[in-house]
Amino acid sequence: MEIIDRLIEEFQIKNEIAANVIDLLDTGNTVPFIARYRKEMTGSMEDMVLRKFEERLNYLRNLEEKKSEVIRLLEESGNLTDELKIQINTAEHIQRVDDIYRPFRPKRRTRATIAKEKGLDPLAELISKQETSVENIYLEAEKYINPEMELNEVEEVINGALDIIAEEVSDSADVRTMIRKFITNQGFLETKSLVDESTVYDQYYDYKEKVNRIPNHSVLAINRAEREKIIKANILVNEEIALRNIYSIFIKNNSPSEELLKRAIDDSYKRLLFPSVEREIRNQLTEIAEEDAIGVFAMNLKPLLMSPPIRGKKVLAIDPGFRTGCKVAVLDQHGEFLENTTIYPTEPFNKVRESKETLKKLVEKYGVDIIAIGNGTASRETEKVVADMIQEENLKVSFIIVNEAGASIYSASEVGIEEFPELDVTVRGAISIGRRLQDPLAELVKIEPKHIGVGQYQHDLNAKKMDSSLSGVVEDCVNSVGVDLNTASVSLLNYISGINNKVANNIVTHRLENGKFNNRNELKKVKGLGPKAFEQSAGFLRIPDSENILDNTGVHPESYKVAKELIKLNYKDMNISELSEKLDIGRETLSDIINELEKPGRDPRDEMPKPILRTDVLSIEDLEVGMELLGTVRNVVGFGAFIDIGIKNDGLVHISEMSDRFIKDPNEVVKVVDIVTVWIKGIDKNKQRVSLTMKGAKAC
């Protein structure tokens, strides 16, 4: 099947749309640009679908390249047959192509290759033909005895011939496909503990689950526990049935050499086939689990990046700590750094009174509106001090816990040093925490997405795949919001469609040397920003104070003429079809232009739920089963979601407690930064754990 036909079938799209998307991607258009400005050509495919389409297109092209390469190698070695060519050309997966090529692939020295070197191929062939009795095969084997070849007795000769057959069985593409399917459908993954003490992997000390049913998060947990030598994991399967299935492929009815063939097959299965396929299946389980974890990470990252900015508020940011104290930074309403200090309200200093006094003075001096507290070490202890100060001093200020993941990485990065060369690394971390509240997207783009910490097992995942997936999420978010061309940092510009790091730096340099951009056309004066880059980027770059109102919208310069004609018309009294025909423009693009004209400078983040600002604090002792609370979703994982309800540790809503209906994926119900109503289901004060439900008080 042609690649385009596969894509049409898998994505359920028309031939024309598939061809358009392939052409757009192949001619250097980015996913954000295609999704936003080529809707008529793509049938309004969303960015996430376009990325999956691109990924699948690349896989199918790699598959075709693999097929061509294997056919070439087989042809060069004289092993290509019409049957093999058909098998290769009809293969739907790279794994299948590898299986077909396996018998012909150059091998390191094995027991089978050593036996072939000793000239035992003809004897192996005689056994495989199944036309000669075992007795006569043994008589024939006597002819191969040769002390110089280390073949001193008949049994050594027979074993060598069987080694050749065993490898042929293990290399059979059909056998590997059958055994792989059998183990996947009928096998169990079993784990056993290698240690006596309790660890975070307790539930996997004696665990057994069907291979095709094991949850993805369990696969990753088992892999990590195995690497740490805490458990041993194996796949168990009914060996007798597996062997019978292989016998049925290789052994004819009433075969005179059945006894010897069974010996070869049994050896092949235990020594070669099962260990190899078990590794393949474990790797496949890991790959699927990693893809799922990366998907969860990406799904969690998007709403975090799209959190609504807290505009026009002065922020006092605190990066909490014990031994080194809490670093404090004050920012004005534009995120500009004003002042910093260090307070020591927690162990081992316990300078609570002095810390409260310092914070109060800063709040009053700068008219601080919100205190942002990082959620790392000493976070809740610091929160208690802040809450008490607000209550005691009756201050008109609120506080919020901010995800500080990656702040330390930013503070030591080139970007952080360049922004605040004169400040200590810890102060930069506090500034990052405060700016994350003021404009999450603008600040978080300064950190590699994998360090933002809204997933599971991110350090165990395929780094290249994760970076690619998460960078795509950031790119989509940045372009859906758009950026102010006259204030955007290099980090932010880097994610704009069509702009690379060099061009981003050139834009900032141009700004410094020539002053602010007055209109989008001036972008063309930036060094290295050619016609293609302008086409890809212009619609996502905003100039709020441009004389041309369209420069502060998502309307692309290529549509300015239509947009200006539209402004002259009383378009609100006309339907889209009439306008589309009158202006000779696609309905989807026209609809987008109208939306932009009605809300110039619109920020889609403003439609997201606003964060919860607090003035007091809870402790686990304040909680009771059945209590109703409002919380913020901090992380969504395969088995549920962690909710910040204002106590030291986030509470867990298990997937089974999210809805009265069956839920397969927690993301069906919640996403990161959602504000949700929960009820206390269980409290474990010893472990400082709280279990929650979203089903109402009746479920407690």
Cα→Cα distances 624→380, 381, 662, Å: 19, 21, 27
Non-local CB neighbours of 278 within 8 Å, separated by 6+ positions: 183, 234, 235
What's the rounded Cα separation, in Å, for the pair 60 and 97?
13
The confidence score (pLDDT) of residue 107 equals: 83
The confidence score (pLDDT) of residue 666 equals: 93
Residues 413, 407 contacting (CB under 8 angstroms): no
What's the rounded Cα separation, in Å, for the pair 358 and 381?
17
The confidence score (pLDDT) of residue 570 equals: 79
The confidence score (pLDDT) of residue 636 equals: 92
Q: For 35-40, what is the mean pLDDT?
A: 97
Q: Which two tokens stand for residue 672?
A: 């990161």
The confidence score (pLDDT) of residue 181 equals: 97
Asked whether the predicted pLDDT for residue 122 surpasses 70, the reply is yes
Asked whether the predicted pLDDT for residue 352 surpasses 90, the reply is yes
**% pLDDT > 90, the chain:** 86
Residue 258 class from Cβ within 10 Å (0-12 exposed, 13-18 middle, 19+ buried)?
A: middle
Q: pLDDT per residue over 406-455, tens digit each?
A: 999 999 999 999 999 999 999 999 999 999 999 999 999 999 888 887 77
Do strands 640-644 and 628-637 pair parallel, antiparallel, or not at all (unpaired)?
A: antiparallel
Q: pLDDT per residue over 603-640, tens digit each?
A: 999 988 888 999 988 888 889 999 999 999 999 988 99
- Say which residue the tokens 């088995």 belong to: 639
What's the rounded Cα separation, in Å, for the pair 138 and 149?
18
Q: In the 8-state DSSP scheme, what is residue 683?
A: E
Cα→Cα distances 15→41, 46, 212, 331, Å: 11, 18, 35, 54
The confidence score (pLDDT) of residue 610 equals: 87
Residue 395 class from Cβ within 10 Å (0-12 exposed, 13-18 middle, 19+ buried)?
A: middle
Give the sign of the dihedral formed by CA 666, CA 671, CA 677, CA 683.
positive
Residue 594 class from Cβ within 10 Å (0-12 exposed, 13-18 middle, 19+ buried)?
A: middle
- Left, alpha or beta for 611 (phi > 0: left; psi -120 to 50: alpha)? beta
Q: pLDDT per residue over 637-681, tens digit each?
A: 889 999 999 888 899 999 999 999 999 899 999 999 999 999 999
Give the sign of the dihedral formed by CA 133, CA 135, CA 137, CA 140.
negative
Q: pLDDT per residue over 460-511, tens digit each?
A: 888 899 999 999 999 999 999 999 999 999 999 999 999 999 999 999 999 9
CA–CA–CA angle 26, 31, 35 (5° rounding):
115
Q: For 390-395, what is the mean pLDDT?
A: 95
Q: Give the chain's domains with CATH numbers.
A: 3-104 (1.10.10.650), 119-296 (1.10.3500.10), 315-438 (3.30.420.140), 620-699 (2.40.50.140)
What's the rounded Cα separation, in Å, for the pair 616 and 609?
21
Asked whether the predicted pLDDT for residue 263 surpasses 80, the reply is yes
Q: For 163-176, what is the mean pLDDT?
A: 96
The confidence score (pLDDT) of residue 8 equals: 97
- Which region among 24-33, 289-298, 420-429 has the lowest average model confidence (pLDDT)? 289-298
**DSSP codes joined into one string, 255-307:** -TTHHHHHHHHHHIIIIIIHHHHHHHHHHHHHHHHHHHHHHHHHHHHHHHHTP
Q: pLDDT per residue over 147-159, tens digit each?
A: 999 999 999 999 9
Asked whether the predicted pLDDT for residue 329 surpasses 80, the reply is yes
What's the rounded Cα separation, in Å, for the pair 465 and 653?
29
Residue 431 identity: I
Asked whether the predicted pLDDT for residue 1 surpasses 70, the reply is no
Q: pLDDT per residue over 501-540, tens digit each?
A: 999 999 999 999 999 999 999 999 999 999 999 999 999 9
Q: pLDDT per residue over 562-611, tens digit each?
A: 999 998 887 777 889 989 999 999 999 999 999 999 988 889 999 888 88
Say how many C-beta atoms besides its own lie within 10 A of residue 4's C-beta.
15
CA–CA–CA angle 533, 538, 542 (5° rounding):
145
- Alpha helices by DSSP H, listed for 490-547, are 490-493, 501-514, 531-537
Map residue 399 onto helix, strand or coil: strand
Q: For 276-288, what is the mean pLDDT?
A: 96
- Alpha helices by DSSP H, listed for 553-693, are 560-568, 576-583, 587-598
Residues 637, 217 contacting (CB under 8 angstroms): yes
Candidates 195, 256, 261, 201; CA nearest to 225 is 201
Across the chain, mean pLDDT equals 94
The confidence score (pLDDT) of residue 364 equals: 97
Asked whether the predicted pLDDT for residue 180 surpasses 90, the reply is yes
Q: Which two tokens stand for residue 611?
A: 């964060």
Q: What are phi and psi of 311, to 5 degrees?
A: -85, 150
Q: Which two tokens stand for residue 699?
A: 């479920």
The confidence score (pLDDT) of residue 609 equals: 81
- Alpha helices by DSSP H, listed for 549-649, are 560-568, 576-583, 587-598
Asked whether the predicted pLDDT for residue 318 surpasses 70, the reply is yes
